[in-house]
A and B are shown apart, each in its own frame.
Chain A
Amino acid sequence: MPGDAADALERAQVDASCRVPVMLFFASAVFWLVVGTLFGLIASYKLHNPLFIIELSPWLSSLLEKFSPAGTVELINASLTFGRIRPAHLNAVAYGWAAPVGLGVAVWLMARLCRVPLRFPLLVSAAGVLWNIGMFVGIGVLLSGGSTSIEWLEFPPFVSFILFLSFALISIWAVDMFVHRKPGHVYVSQWYIMAALFWFPWLYGTANMLIQLIPAQGSVQAIVNWWYGHNALGLWFTPLGLAAAYYMIPKVIGRPVYSYYLSAFGFWALALFYSWNGGHHLIGGPLPAWLITSSIVASVMMVIPVVVTAINHHMTMKGNFQVLRYSPTLRFVVFGAMSYTLASLQGSSMAFRDLNTVTHFTHYTIGHSHLGLYAFYTMIMFGCIYYIVPRLLGREWVSARLIKIHFWTCAYGIVAMVLILSVGGVIQG
């Protein structure tokens, strides 16, 4: 069959063009994932045992003082205080893991779906290196106490600039593939990726401009902060996660998405409603009531795209659930897609003033954010890595047992974490 051979050749060329940059994004993302998890664990431990590490200092310091210059112990203790390690955790997992892994998946999906090779892969790789230089400097600044103390924008402006520049260099070549795509149907994953690639620089640029460079004053700063904070999740990570789910689920089970109409409807509803959601973080704050109320309305309207997407994914999966038993990719992606529904519906409910009175400023919110960015986004990205890496390297995963360990520890871990934080948060509230 000459047609199949030509298709296989095309796929091989596409994969070859993406190999270096995408593997670079994945490798650096996995590094920051492990570092970020360690940061998070230290931060978590310190909340119930604040003297952790400092208590260790009697024997650690005697050891360290012998081999290192004076003041090292104090420096380490200071770096690992909660106020520094907590933003270091957030930034390592958000900008070190989540963003680069999403970019890697986006570049690969774009190349495969547009059926064109990535042009200038070395330039894109260089941008990936630049991004990681920014990450090392940024995390260094956070651990030495230089946080801007604005949530989600803790990195100082010059680090944000490095990340922005690197992002621009990467996204230009992803958009370029879309411009030069082979004729044919544009798939829903491509809409989500294109949207994410345009939304993120707009969000990140505007937020940095209005908070760092020409700071908005007073409570307006909080509005800008949460406009960015929530949109970074809703208009950047969410579209990338959904793009991946829309690709992987039909691909692995080998049948088309249930409804084209529902995909389009879900996409536009998300684009319309998500961008207003930030205000629900400021319920009870000194802001105009209409602003918060409209944000609550938009948060509840998010039920529409979420339910539509859930129905679409469920109907695609229907009759094929047995594939979850053996496909690592599908198992992670479906876990993520189900978590997306749960996290989003929980998020809509948390925007209600009655529930917000209890859960605001408690650990309940932390549980919700982990359900979103971890159980939804990160699990889908794990699934994508299990699918993409063998295709880029021409080799299969070494051990099914390691994949099983990975899945079950993370699945039980995150479910336990979300439940524990939710119950603890309500008691706290």
Chain B
Amino acid sequence: MLQHPENPTNTFSNIVEATKPWLRGRTISGVLILVGHLAFAYHFVLMLLKFGRADGVGPTLLAKPESAAEASS
């Protein structure tokens, strides 16, 4: 696929065709990001609707911290 930029036999349509698989890949990564944004937006709306925890247990963490003193966010 890689050709010298000044190679006259490398047509413009050939270059455009060569980008297609990569553009499909971008769409797939875009879908992944959209999924993340939808999860985030849903979570944000839950917070707006006051579904957030108010039980005083402390911040929502992704895993258990090794020492309790470290848990500030």
Contacts and interface: CB of A to CB of B under 8 A. Distances in A.
A325 B66 CA distance: 10
Interface stretch (A72-80, A187-195, A299-307, A402-410): A402-410
Given A37-B33, A424-B19, A251 B26 contact: no
A427 B36 contact: no
Contacts of A40: 30
B60 A397 contact: yes
B3 to A, nearest CB: 9
B55 to A, nearest CB: 8
A264 interface: no
Interface string B28-57: 111111111111111110111011111001
Contact of B26 (A420, A426, A428): A420
A167 B39 CA distance: 29
A6 B3 CA distance: 69
Nearest to A322: B66
B35 to A, nearest CB: 5
Given A40-B30, A405-B36, A328 B61 contact: yes
Contacts of A30: 40-41, 44
B62 A406 contact: no
A329 B73 contact: yes
A279 B36 CA distance: 35
Interface stretch (A215-223, A282-290, A381-389): A381-389
B43 A404 contact: no
Q: Most chain-A CB neighbours within 10 Å: which of B25, B71, B73? A: B73
Report the interface size class on chain B.
35 or more
Tell me the interface secondary structure of chain B in the complex: helix
A26 B48 CA distance: 11
Contact of A395 (B22, B41, B47, B70): B47
Given A48-B23, A428-B15, A326 B34 contact: no
A291 interface: no
Contact of B30 (A41, A325, A329): A41
Given A47-B23, A48-B20, A413-B30, A396 B37 contact: no
Contacts of A413: 29-33, 35-36
A44 B23 CA distance: 7
A206 interface: no
A360 to B, nearest CB: 11
Report the interface size class on chain A.
35 or more
A409 B52 contact: no
A70 interface: no
A252 B65 contact: no
B33 A417 contact: yes
B38 A400 contact: no
Contact of B34 (A38, A48, A389): A38
A390 B33 contact: no
A326 B72 CA distance: 10
Nearest to B16: A428
A248 B50 CA distance: 25
A388 to B, nearest CB: 10
A416 B22 contact: no
Contacts of B28: 416
B31 A326 contact: no
A426 B19 CA distance: 10
Contacts of A37: 30, 33-34, 37
A393 interface: yes
Nearest to A392: B47
B51 to A, nearest CB: 6
Contacts of B18: 427-428
Contact of B43 (A402, A421, A426): A402
Contacts of B54: 394-396
A347 B45 CA distance: 36
B23 A399 contact: no
Contact of A406 (B36, B46, B59): B36
5 contacts: A27-B44, A363-B19, A385-B44, A406-B36, A412-B32
Interface of B: 1-2, 5, 15, 18-44, 46-48, 50-54, 57-66, 70-73
Given A393-B52, A427-B2, 12 more contacts: A31-B41, A37-B37, A322-B66, A328-B60, A328-B61, A397-B60, A399-B43, A400-B62, A402-B39, A402-B42, A413-B36, A427-B18
